[in-house]
Structure 1
Amino acid sequence: LPLRPDLAPDPAHDTVAYEFEGGAIRPAAAHDYSYSWGGAGFRGTAHGVALFGARVMRDGFLSPKARAVMWTPSLMNDGTPVMEGEDRIAFGWRIRTDNDGQQIAHHAGAAIGARSALMLYPERGESVALLSNAVWVSDITETAAMLAAPFQADPTGPQTRCPIWASQYSGSFGDKPVTGTVRFAMTDGICRGTLGLGNAAGDWFDALPQASTDGLAVISILPGDRLDRGALVTPSGTYDFRRQPDGSFVAALSPARKFVVRLQR
C-alpha cells in the first residue's frame, strides 16, 4: 500500500498543513507522530487510503472472521452499546446505518493542520477517502459520504426539474426562520445553484474559523435537468440536500440543526 509512517517532513511530496488562529490562516508546525504508529501517524494519498479501505473489504487481506470482529460494536458491562453521537463504536471503526439503510464502517482523524476520513460501504464494496490540509473541516465524514452519493443515487427515482425559476427562499436554520436570495442554472449539464445568506445561517457559518461567506453552493449529484438530491457546500463541510415530499429541501447539519429551504419565485 502507498502508505508509510510519518517519519520526517518530505517537502517534495507533502502538502502544506494549515491552522486557523485568531481568524488568520498560518502553516502548521511539523509534529512528531511516532507515538501514534499503532493506529495512526501515517502519510499517504487519498488514493492510498481508499485502497486500504478496499483491501479491508476483500477476503485474503483479512479473514472474514477478523473483519467481523473488527466491525462488531462494543458493549458496556451492562450490555448497552458504546456510542459516539449516532455511531456505535467497534474495534477502531465507527458503525452506523445511513438514511438509505446502508451499513457504513468509517473512521475520521485529526492532526495538527489536517483532517482525514475513510468511509466503507461493505454491502456495495465501495471505499471513500477524503484528506484535508486544514484542521477545520468539522463534518468531514458527511463530506466523504457526499463523494459517494453520485454513485449510489437511483437515476430512475423521483425527478424534480432544476429550479431555474426560483429567485428567493424561506425556511429555517435550526429553530430560527431564514430568508434569502437564490439562483439556479444548468452548468456543464448539471443543476447548480447558490443560496444567499445574510441570515441566521450566515451568522452561524461566519462564526467558524474560516473566512465569512455570502452564499452556499448547491450541486445536484445527478446529471441532467434535475434537483432531487444535491450537495450543500459550506465552510464546515458538504451536506446532503434532499427534496422532501412537501417540496422543500432539507440539509441536516447535525441532529439538532437542520437547514430547511422552500424555493419561491
Structure 2
Amino acid sequence: MKALTHPILAAAMFFCAATGEGLAGEKEAQALLDAIADMSGAPGLSAAVSQNGIMIWAGQSGFADLERKKPVTQTTRFRIASVSKLLTAALTLKLSEKGLLNLDEDIRTYVPDWPDHDGGVITLRQLAAHTSGIAHYGAGDRGTPFNEDDTLNDSLAIYAHKPLLFAPGKAYNYSSYGYALMGAAIENAAGSSFEEALSVNLIEPLSLRRTSIEDISNLPEEASRLYRQGGATLTPNDQRAVLGATGVLSTPGDLVRFADAYMRGDIISSELVAQSLTPAILNNGAPVDAGRFKVGFGWRIGENWETETVFHHAGLTPGARSILTVNASRKLSAALLSNASWTSRIETTGELIATAAAENPDRETCPTGEWRYEGIFASDPDAYPETPNAEGSLGIVLYEDVCRMTLAPQGELAAWLAQLRNDATEMTAVMVAERPTGAVFAVATPWGAFPLYFSETALALKGDFAGRTVDLSLHR
C-alpha cells in the first residue's frame, strides 16, 4: 500500500481505518481478535495496526467493565505495563539529543544519591539494555505508596541498597528497577517530574491524547477496570514509584502512532533510531542476547514466524497484558492491549493480528472441507514420541466472509488444551495469508495465537508453540 500524500485523501483513509470499515483484512483481524479474547480469558482486548504509517485497522472485543457491561472501545485506556519502557527509552534519547543526558556517563552524574556499589559504574546505555546488574523487582514492589510530592529519586529507597547481580556490562538481567533509575535521571536532568517530561517531549508533540501516567486515585472515565483471567476484579496497585518501568495508560492507536513516529525519525534523529535498533554490546564484545531476542536501547530485536526482523516490547502486570511490535520489512506496526494478565507468546499474537489486517487472503481459495489428522505432539522437545500420540478432526468453512478452521483435538493435544483452559474442547483458527506451500491460519490457543500452515496433506504449527513440538498429517 502506498502512503497517501494528498491531505484530504490521507485523512479519509485514516478515518476509515480508525472505524474499521471497508478495509482489506478487517474481517479476518476482528475474527482473530474475538477468538483470542475467548481463549485468553481476558474480559476485554483492543488492537490497532498501521502500514506505511497509516492506520489500516482497529478493533476491540469484550468489556472494559464487566459489572456495567461497558464494552471496550477505541478510546478505552489500558495499562501498557512494560511497553512503558519504550516511551522511557525514547524520552532518554530525546533528552540526550538536547544535551541534557549523556548515555555513557556515570549514572551518579544525574542521580547523585545512587550508591557506589563497589565502584561499579552504571550508564544509561546499560540501564536501557538491562546490563547494569540491577535486580528486577519482586512481588509487591509495584504497589509501594507514592505521595504527590514524591520524586523518583525518593523511590531509590526501595531498591538502591540491593547488591548488584554482576558487574555493570557483564551480562543481561531484565530489570524494571533499572528503568525506574532511568526515570530518576530523567527527572533530575529535565528539572521536572517524569510525567511532565514525558508530556512535553512525547505526548504533546505526537498528539497521544489518550496516553497518560496512571493515578489510581484519579482514573479517567476511559480507563478499563482490571481483572484476572476469567473475570475476577482486581484492585489497582499504585505503580508510580517505579515510573519509567511501567505505570502508563494508553490505547493501541496511540502506541501505533508512537511507533510509526519513532521509526520515521520524528522523535529523535534517524541515526539514533538506528543505534537503538541495533543490539547493545556487553563488556566482552558480544551482543546482548536474551534468548528469543536481542536487546537494543529499549527495543527487543527478534524474528517472527517467517524469519523477518521485528522490533517489539511486551508487558505483563496485574490487570494487563500488552505488546507493541514493528515489522521493518513490511512497515507494519501493531499494538494489542488487554485488561487481564495472561501468559502467552504475545509477540507472535501481535504479528499475526497485523498479518490478518494487512494481507487480505483470497476468500475464494478457502480450502473448505473436513479432515482427520494424526501425528506427534511432544510436550518435551527432548523426549520426542516414536509413535503418534495426537489426533483429532478439523473443519474449514467460509463463514461471514472469513475462512475459519475449527480443530477438535484428542490425545496429548487435547490434554494440553484442557490443562490450560478447562472448558476448552476445540480451537478456532482464521486464514490470514496465502503462501506457496498453502494457506496460513492463525490458531487461537490459551497460550496466544500461532501460525498454522495448511495444505491438503499436512498441518504444521510454526514457531515456539509453548515449547511444544507439533508434527501432524491430514487425511480425509
> When the two structures are superposed, what TM-score results if normalisation uses the length of structure 1?
0.85
How far is 1:160 from its partner? Answer: 10
> Among residues 150, 172, 192, which one is paired with 2:404 in the alignment?
192
How far is 1:97 from its partner? Answer: 2.6
Q: 1:5 and 1:127 mapped to 2: Cα distance?
A: 23
> Among residues 207, 225, 239, which one is paired with 2:450 in the alignment?
239
The CA deviation string for residues 138-169 of structure 1, in whole angstroms up to 9 with x for no partner, is 1111110101113565969xx99544332321
1:160–1:228 Cα contact (<8 Å) kept:
no
Of the structure 1 ranges 87-96 and 192-201, higher mean CA displacement relative to structure 2 is found in 192-201
The 3 A distance-change label for structure 1 pair 245 and 97 is farther
The 3 A distance-change label for structure 1 pair 211 and 63 is farther
Q: 1:100 and 1:139 mapped to 2: Cα distance?
A: 15
Aligned to 2:473: 262
Q: 1:108 and 1:228 mapped to 2: Cα distance?
A: 28
Structure 1 residue 10 corresponds to structure 2 residue 222: no
The CA deviation string for residues 20-75 of structure 1, in whole angstroms up to 9 with x for no partner, is 4xxx6411221111123224310011111111111111122221122122112122
2:450–2:465 Cα contact (<8 Å) kept:
no
- Which structure shows the bigger proportion of residues in strand conformation? 1
> Among residues 115, 120, 139, which one is paired with 2:345 in the alignment?
139
> Among residues 349, 352, 372, which one is paired with 1:168 in the alignment?
372
Q: CA RMSD in A?
A: 2.8
How far is 1:235 from its partner? Answer: 1.5
The CA deviation string for residues 160-201 of structure 1, in whole angstroms up to 9 with x for no partner, is 954433232112222452001212111123321111023212
Q: 1:111 and 1:85 mapped to 2: Cα distance?
A: 22
Aligned to 1:56: 262
Consecutive unaligned residues in structure 2, runs of 5 or more: 1-207, 379-383
Structure 1 residue 125 corresponds to structure 2 residue 331: yes
Consecutive unaligned residues in structure 1, runs of 5 or more: none
1:242–1:251 Cα contact (<8 Å) kept:
yes
The CA deviation string for residues 210-262 of structure 1, in whole angstroms up to 9 with x for no partner, is 44310011110149xx9610101112211111237963332334484233332
1:252–1:258 Cα contact (<8 Å) kept:
no
> Among residues 222, 241, 246, which one is paired with 1:40 in the alignment?
246
The 3 A distance-change label for structure 1 pair 122 and 163 is closer
Q: Does the residue aligned with 1:166 lie in a helix, a strand or coil? A: strand
Aligned to 2:82: none
> When the two structures are superposed, what TM-score results if normalisation uses the length of structure 2?
0.49
1:18–1:28 Cα contact (<8 Å) kept:
yes
- Which structure shows the bigger proportion of residues in helix conformation? 2
Q: 2:310 and 2:321 mapped to 1: Cα distance?
A: 19
Aligned AA for 1:219? V
Q: 2:410 and 2:241 mapped to 1: Cα distance?
A: 45
The CA deviation string for residues 65-100 of structure 1, in whole angstroms up to 9 with x for no partner, is 221221121222222222222200111111013343
Structure number with bigger Rg? 2
Of the structure 1 ranges 77-86 and 234-243, higher mean CA displacement relative to structure 2 is found in 77-86
Q: Does the residue aligned with 2:212 lie in a helix, a strand or coil? A: strand
